[in-house]
Chains A and B, each alone.
Chain A
Amino acid sequence: MDQETVRTICYLARLEIDHKKSEKIQKDLETIIELIGSLQSTDTTNVEPLYSPLEMTALKHEDVEKSDNKKEKFLENAAASNEDYFLVPRVVE
């Protein structure tokens, strides 16, 4: 892993890393990737991945209309909102 890869991953994750910490982060990531890399020695030919310990189909429930709209409460938690929307910096010129 080089500094360029670290920068790319940081951008994908929308994170900025303090310049002073960048070398340490690179070293930490290398150590962890090395740990994960040790899995390559396990033979997994024809083994299906196990994405959840339950492996069940999600249960369906009836599509019933409910009216527990908490719009105001949800908007209260946003740093910027008007009556109906969350506000963000202008996206379209």
Chain B
Amino acid sequence: MSIQFKSIVELRAMLDKKSISTPELTQESLRLAKKYKELNCFVTMNEEMGPKKASAIELDKKTTSLISGIPLAQKDLFSTEGLRTTCSSKILENFIPPYTATAVEKLEDAGSITIGKTNMDEFAMGSSNETSYFGNVHNPWKKGYVPGGSSGGSAAAVAAGIVPAATGTDTGGSIRQPAAHCGITGLKPTYGRISRWGMIAFASSLDQAGPLARTAEDCAILLNEMAGHDLKDTTSLDVKVPDYRENIEKPINQLKIGIIKEFNLSELDSEVQSRFQDSKDLYEKLGAEFVEVSLPNISASVPTYYSIAPAECSSNLSRFDGVRFGHRAENTEDLNDLYIKSRSEGFGDEVKRRILIGTYALSAGYYDAYYKKAQQVRRLIKNDFDNVFETVDLLMTPTSPNTAFAFGSKGAQNPVELYLEDLFTISSNLAGLPAISIPHGQINSLPVGLQLIGNFLREDQLLNAAHVFQENSDFHLMQPTMENFL
């Protein structure tokens, strides 16, 4: 029986009915990964430890979690003990972490099997997966097209049906935008909901881990395991984790959804507008009420983000100096030369560009004008969200202004062109709010995503609204043919 394109819920039923064993399921998932090698969605396979763990789980009758025995893929930004973790960068090409990230450890403790580490934009800096040292990932829906980024490998692996779900991280849209471009569901939880310990840091006040899966229900199952306080991450919230599946079926006839006036949807591609209108109609049919709301400062999100994120990145990436881990240049004259050569050889162009911008924004004389100013505008953006959430439960936007695009077609001449990909997603990172992307149709055979943004710690409302949408539509069930990848 094929396991391709099955959800966690479906695979759980197969395991419980014993129509497949845990070791067979792991092998089948690894086989699919090999079969679709051309997608390039994996950087490293866990061929040794994965099957071993699967055999152990098969014998262990005590594990009762829903994800016990379920194969998962981890974004190659999560440290995994004994399993190479590269962040898709040359500088970490041979890095074997001495510990496992808390988010992954919790999934593994619940019995899931890591089958491999997924390709991504280098250090998660990108929206197309084209900055990876290990090459581009193809969109399973169209060869030669981007899967989105930065969690592009995770999104492609799920969309291709190799694994039912994967982990990702989202600093400015890196879970939601690839989920949208690949036609799957991706959740960025509230900042602090999931521990960041063991995640290789990009921008610490924006980074958040989350699940990518075929359905909102599967995202709820994974969030149940991943969420929670961690003593090793002081920014992880010490707030009770509810059962995110408990109220997922609840009728949504009391739901009030805001449409953000400032996003000017009428300027978007007419097909993107028309998918959005269809989804609005469906929600209305299901009893939700729509109101127009104003977030006066939201249009400043892109410049705010591109000041804060590079500043934090330049600080975080200063740890890569060729001394304690990572690539080290040869034939260096002195310590300073060792730092410069190791970093220059190890980082790709986009990472260097962001480090330089961040260094500039934080340097004497510019700090107030760029970095502090951006953090002030960030407060205004957060205040705007606080205000609108007094009157609405959720906000609804397209996830991305367009569908997936061809390799090399964006950002080569002007990097800002690619930065605008994140227009709808980055404000929730700045404010620390949860948001989800669900598939809601296709344009020219490429998936389109719908984004819902929730109030602080209201992942339950997001998952409820997304699940009810999926119960009443079949966009999340669509599958790419994969015939061009054989």
Contacts and interface: CB of A to CB of B under 8 A. Distances in A.
B302 A44 contact: no
B242 to A, nearest CB: 19
B433 to A, nearest CB: 8
B187 interface: no
Given A49-B375, A50-B378, A78-B323, A88 B353 contact: no
A52 B235 contact: yes
Query: How many B residues touch the partner, as a band?
Result: 35 or more
Interface in A28-75: 28-29, 31-33, 35-40, 42, 44, 47-54, 58-59, 61, 70, 73-74
Given A15-B356, A89-B334, A39 B323 contact: no
A14 interface: yes
A91 B339 CA distance: 13
B234 interface: yes
B344 A50 contact: no
B95 A86 contact: no
A86 B332 contact: no
Interface residues of A, number: 49
B283 interface: no
B360 A15 contact: no
Contacts of A6: 356
B335 A9 contact: no
Contact of B340 (A16, A31, A70): A16
Contacts of A48: 376, 379
Counting chain A CB atoms within 10 Å of each CB, the highest count among B326, B379, B431 belongs to B379
B300 A42 contact: yes
B361 A15 contact: no
B414 A31 contact: yes
Nearest to B321: A14
A21 B357 CA distance: 16
A39 B431 CA distance: 17
Nearest to A54: B192
Interface in B275-326: 297, 300, 302-304, 306-307, 314, 318, 321-326
Contact of A77 (B96, B333, B339): B96
B304 A39 contact: yes
Interface of B: 95-96, 98-99, 191-192, 205, 231, 234-235, 237-238, 297, 300, 302-304, 306-307, 314, 318, 321-328, 332-341, 343-344, 347, 349, 352-353, 355-357, 359-361, 363, 369-370, 372-380, 382, 414-416, 419, 430-433
Given A12-B359, A15-B347, A36-B361, 11 more contacts: A36-B374, A39-B300, A44-B377, A51-B375, A76-B98, A78-B325, A86-B324, A89-B332, A89-B337, A89-B338, A90-B334
16 contacts: A9-B359, A17-B344, A29-B353, A31-B415, A33-B370, A36-B374, A39-B307, A44-B377, A48-B379, A49-B376, A50-B376, A50-B382, A51-B205, A59-B234, A76-B98, A90-B334
